[in-house]
Structure 1
Amino acid sequence: MGKLDNIEPKSVFKFFEEICQIPRCSGKEEKISKYLVDFAKQNGFTFIQDDAYNVIIKKPGTSGYEKSPTVILQSHMDMVCTKTDTSTHDFDKDPIDLVIDGNTIKANGTTLGADNGIGMAISLAILESKEIPHPPLEVIFTANEEEGLQGAAQLDMTSITGKTMINLDVEDEGVFVASCAGGIRHVISLDIIWEDVPKEFVPYRVTISGLKGGHSGLEIDKGRGNSNILMGRFLHELQSTINFSLSEINGGIKMNIIPSKTESVILIDNQDFGKLKSKVESWNQIIKNEFMSSDEKVNISINEIDMPKKVFSNKSLDDLIFVLMTIPNGVQTMSMDIKGLVESSTNLGVVNTVENTVTFVSNIRSSKRSLKYNILNKMELIAKRVQADTLSDSEYPEWDYDPKSNIRELFVNTYTKLYNAEPQITAVHAGLECGFFKNNIQEIDIISFGPNIYNVHSPDETLDFNSVNRSWELLLHVLAELK
């Protein structure tokens, strides 16, 4: 007897418990993909499995729906695998240890994998049922969503005939996602002209830290400081106060994280130390005032360090400051369709000095392709001005908001009738698999929804099974209407 046998809807939680027995960390989907193929074979369904372990299962419409337009159900099969410091769980072989806590389900010391295992379970329960009325279905399970949407990016969509898609990868009940941002990575590589260290100059490390940082898509609208940009401002201001040289600058961890700490090594005539100290003190007041609401712990500090071997030429220093002072960063435009939604943004996530080059790595996002390329073009012009090389890669497509979406209207009307409440229509300023489907299938109409899942991607991940029941009920009513 399974732990979840008595939880409704029983067919959904039967599959969810089976899924939780199978290791399926991102990038290791072979076993869960085989499980899906075996399920399709056992039930006599047509299926496709590709080299990336994506699986498409097709099922005819039920009685009265045989000639109805095909509907796509889509979820991803992989999960983020994290655990507590004390957990001995082995994600490569151990099943998820499920724990029922009131009306929720958790895992013992690990992520639960309800993101997106519950979406898979709902789809499998519909596929298996001989009683649920529905149109012809194309049920798509993508691999490696959590590591850059790789499965969707590699999926051959030429065999997909459906023009209506329901994505099951949302963690907030009553919230329907109707758009997502596309993105691209942009790198400026500035060659350094090196010079000897000026005589009698003393080296100091300047550190800007204490910023909150955060996700460059979901938290770009919080007004949080970017330590790389702030360092550019400080160096620019310092140029008007004292003569200094620069030997390195490093800040940020990843392009999709707002940088919270940046360090630069400068060299000054020791007679100018008082001016440097005064500038640091005044800049502490400036940035604390600017970010008193978003980054109250922001701080700039200096400390003397060992002598570096060489320094930037004046031209290289000027070029570096020019890039930092002019490169687009933060929110660029807001959506006119969805209140409060960031439409386009960019984040200068990483600045690194490596050998003879300084690299500036930005993450550009936009729900409109033209705006994404407009930001890209600005960065290209900046690079051209300082004769730097550029690279653009890791691009993924946007899912632009459709004001006339029929599937969204059906979901809204059905939800309102069932629960006498208005759902929230929203969008995410981050990449979703829906963008690849929108980009590859002409005139496809998409909605994304799901039950309440809390603390995803952490060992505190929790699934509300009453919310699953309501989401299941909603989906069945919608499918019944798609005749």
Structure 2
Amino acid sequence: MSEILGHLKPQAVFHYFEQMTKIPRESGNEAAISDYLVNFAKEHQLEYVQEPCKNVIIKKPATPGYENAPRVILQGHMDMVCVKDDELDFNFATDALPIYVDGDWLRTKGTTLGADNGIAVAMSLAILADNTLSHPALTVLVTTEEETGMDGVMALNPENVSGDILINIDSEEEGVALASCAGGVRNSLKLPIEWTEVEATNMVSYELIISGLKGGHSGIEINKCRANANKLMGRLLHEIADLDLLVASVAGGEKMNAISKRASLKVTLPSEQVASLESKVKAFEQMVRAEFETSDPGVSVVLQQTEVTTKVFTKQTAQRLMYILQLIPYGPQTMSANISGLVESSSNIGVVEMNESEIEFSSAIRSSVSSLKGEINHRIQAIADLTGASMELIADYPEWQFETESKVRDVMKDVYQQMYGKELEVSAIHAGLECGFLSQKLGKIDMISIGPDITGAHTPKESLSIPSTERVYDFLCEVLKAIKA
């Protein structure tokens, strides 16, 4: 069946997943994967809709005996976070993901795997293709651009989707069914750049690089107290601020919703101060290694000499850059008083990038309480006001509120007990799921979220548990079979 994954079970699930690893599907570049889903529907003679935003909806009638059962929507997103190891020569727009099997795990050689959320799509296609299963009327909803602000679900035409129950397959822990999630927004703070020119005489230029961090998912792994390279760069700027140092450029992070694992800064300074700079950078590296010896033992801070750069930020711009990186919030901001260990609100400064006119700081703000999400944004607005920057909120999405009564939750708990002899855990997550928007779009609908074990999402260490995938798929099929009245 599949050259690499053909021996794995469920065969159909891993067949479709492997096909997806060969198709570009970075957020915003989903045309090819969207067309793949349409071709699947055509090949299986299933009703489908491809929306202008490239969302794909595929429908399959109920099997005999299930004509009057509650209609079920299976939902996931087709896009993935595309992050790779810094040294890897790889193009997500053209290259197949370098997947391989490592015992019970599916991994890649230096890139994200895209199990978040390709495994939902693969499971849904396997169910649609299998005419031996018993199930209610099915609608498979596959959305675009979930990872960059949920643009697909925001653009969804609700007239194209109908159902009584929605099963989201975008969770990452087997045995845990999610019944609520955080809302979020992308916070974009932009600092205008003022430039100046300096004489090259007796000046040298260096690039300061912070790397070797673990990074991670800015929702699920924000509670692990990992270092953020963008925040560390703010601290490093403060440590070397007493030198006659001029900043020429700054960059950090890859994705707004991933914890930044690399940042760089180009500077120009008098040659007689190089020894002091080297000493301060070495001391800073030793300090952060001690601070993050458990969470980020590979952290590295290095200096690399470059060609002399004479076009630099003004002192005021460089100072404001330092202030913003120091002050902008990062990490858990409040913890839930109702669910032990659950982050209630958080902020992640994921990307720092610049062009000729401005530096943009992109943060992922999350909270299960909308007023606290607003409070974090108010603080960033205050930073903008104090530094002459501007702030914009992009792709604001709502939280998913917990419902005390849920038929699908009860069915899942019964099926899980029967299959595995233990209780299904019902919980909440500090990550954004599309369920919040879907509850607004589709009206009162019974929703739940499940998924197999995935580790390291949004990082090159992303891994999918093979046996967990088989168990969750079997569980999902049994749940569909049990939804009969």
TM-score by length of 2: 0.75
Aligned to 1:179: 180
**Paired residue type of 1:392:** L
C-alpha RMSD of matched pairs (Å):
4.8
Deviations 1:303-356 (A, max 9, x none): 665443244334323322221221111222233444333332222223344324
Is the 1:24–1:77 contact (alpha carbons within 8 Å) kept by the matching residues of 2?
no
Instruction: Summarize the Cα distance change of 1:186–1:21 in structure 2 as closer, same or farther, 3 Å threshold.
Output: closer
Is the 1:207–1:300 contact (alpha carbons within 8 Å) kept by the matching residues of 2?
yes
**Paired residue type of 2:267:** V
Is the 1:412–1:423 contact (alpha carbons within 8 Å) kept by the matching residues of 2?
yes
Aligned to 2:37: 32
Aligned to 1:115: 119
Instruction: Summarize the Cα distance change of 1:333–1:413 in structure 2 as closer, same or farther, 3 Å threshold.
Output: farther
Q: How does 1:442-457 map to 2 (within 5 A)?
A: 442-451=443-452
| Runs of at least 5 residues in structure 1 that lack an aligned partner in the other structure | 84-89
- The answer to whether structure 1 residue 392 and structure 2 residue 388 are counterparts is no
Is the 1:228–1:350 contact (alpha carbons within 8 Å) kept by the matching residues of 2?
yes
Instruction: Summarize the Cα distance change of 1:105–1:330 in structure 2 as closer, same or farther, 3 Å threshold.
Output: closer
Aligned to 2:296: 295
Is the 1:61–1:137 contact (alpha carbons within 8 Å) kept by the matching residues of 2?
no
The structure with the largest alpha-carbon Rg is: 1
Is the 1:334–1:342 contact (alpha carbons within 8 Å) kept by the matching residues of 2?
yes
Q: CA deviation at 1:250?
A: 1.4
Deviations 1:59-96 (A, max 9, x none): 35854x5555433223456789999xxxxxx99999x9
The percent identity for this pair of structures is: 33
Instruction: Summarize the Cα distance change of 1:36–1:389 in structure 2 as closer, same or farther, 3 Å threshold.
Output: same
Aligned to 2:248: 248
Aligned to 1:86: none
**Paired residue type of 1:124:** L
Q: How does 1:312-461 map to 2 (within 5 A)?
A: 312-402=313-403, 404-451=405-452
Q: CA deviation at 1:454?
A: 8.1
**Paired residue type of 1:446:** M
Please state whether the residue corresponding to 2:158 is helix, strand or coil. Answer: coil
Name which of structure 1's ranges 111-120 and 450-459 shifts more when overlaid on structure 2. Answer: 450-459
Q: CA deviation at 1:373?
A: 2.8
1:474 and 1:289 map into 2 onto residues whose CA distance is 45
1:265 and 1:78 map into 2 onto residues whose CA distance is 37
**Paired residue type of 2:224:** K
Q: CA deviation at 1:179?
A: 3.5
Name which of structure 1's ranges 322-331 and 98-107 shifts more when overlaid on structure 2. Answer: 98-107
Please state whether the residue corresponding to 1:33 is helix, strand or coil. Answer: helix
**Paired residue type of 1:329:** Y
Aligned to 1:226: 228
Please state whether the residue corresponding to 1:55 is helix, strand or coil. Answer: strand
2:101 and 2:232 map into 1 onto residues whose CA distance is 47
2:14 and 2:188 map into 1 onto residues whose CA distance is 42
Instruction: Summarize the Cα distance change of 1:269–1:413 in structure 2 as closer, same or farther, 3 Å threshold.
Output: same
**Paired residue type of 1:408:** R
**Paired residue type of 1:252:** G
Q: CA deviation at 1:415?
A: 1.0
Deviations 1:182-232 (A, max 9, x none): 433322222233344379774453625244141233432222222322222
Is the 2:78–2:143 contact (alpha carbons within 8 Å) kept by the matching residues of 1?
yes
Is the 1:366–1:429 contact (alpha carbons within 8 Å) kept by the matching residues of 2?
yes
Q: CA deviation at 1:165?
A: 0.9
2:354 and 2:6 map into 1 onto residues whose CA distance is 57
Q: CA deviation at 1:383?
A: 0.9
Instruction: Summarize the Cα distance change of 1:294–1:54 in structure 2 as closer, same or farther, 3 Å threshold.
Output: same
Q: CA deviation at 1:5?
A: 11
Is the 2:211–2:261 contact (alpha carbons within 8 Å) kept by the matching residues of 1?
no
1:238 and 1:460 map into 2 onto residues whose CA distance is 35
Name which of structure 1's ranges 302-311 and 29-38 shifts more when overlaid on structure 2. Answer: 302-311
Is the 2:205–2:309 contact (alpha carbons within 8 Å) kept by the matching residues of 1?
no
Aligned to 2:193: 192
Instruction: Summarize the Cα distance change of 1:253–1:321 in structure 2 as closer, same or farther, 3 Å threshold.
Output: closer
TM-score by length of 1: 0.76
Please state whether the residue corresponding to 1:283 is helix, strand or coil. Answer: helix
Instruction: Summarize the Cα distance change of 1:156–1:306 in structure 2 as closer, same or farther, 3 Å threshold.
Output: same
**Paired residue type of 1:231:** M
2:194 and 2:279 map into 1 onto residues whose CA distance is 30
Please state whether the residue corresponding to 1:244 is helix, strand or coil. Answer: coil
Please state whether the residue corresponding to 1:173 is helix, strand or coil. Answer: coil
1:106 and 1:282 map into 2 onto residues whose CA distance is 36
1:294 and 1:455 map into 2 onto residues whose CA distance is 13
Q: CA deviation at 1:265?
A: 0.9
| Runs of at least 5 residues in structure 2 that lack an aligned partner in the other structure | 85-91
Please state whether the residue corresponding to 1:232 is helix, strand or coil. Answer: helix
Please state whether the residue corresponding to 2:44 is helix, strand or coil. Answer: helix
**Paired residue type of 2:244:** F
Q: CA deviation at 1:124?
A: 1.3
Instruction: Summarize the Cα distance change of 1:316–1:340 in structure 2 as closer, same or farther, 3 Å threshold.
Output: same
Q: CA deviation at 1:409?
A: 3.6
Aligned residues: 465
Aligned to 1:124: 128
Aligned to 1:54: 56
Q: CA deviation at 1:453?
A: 7.0
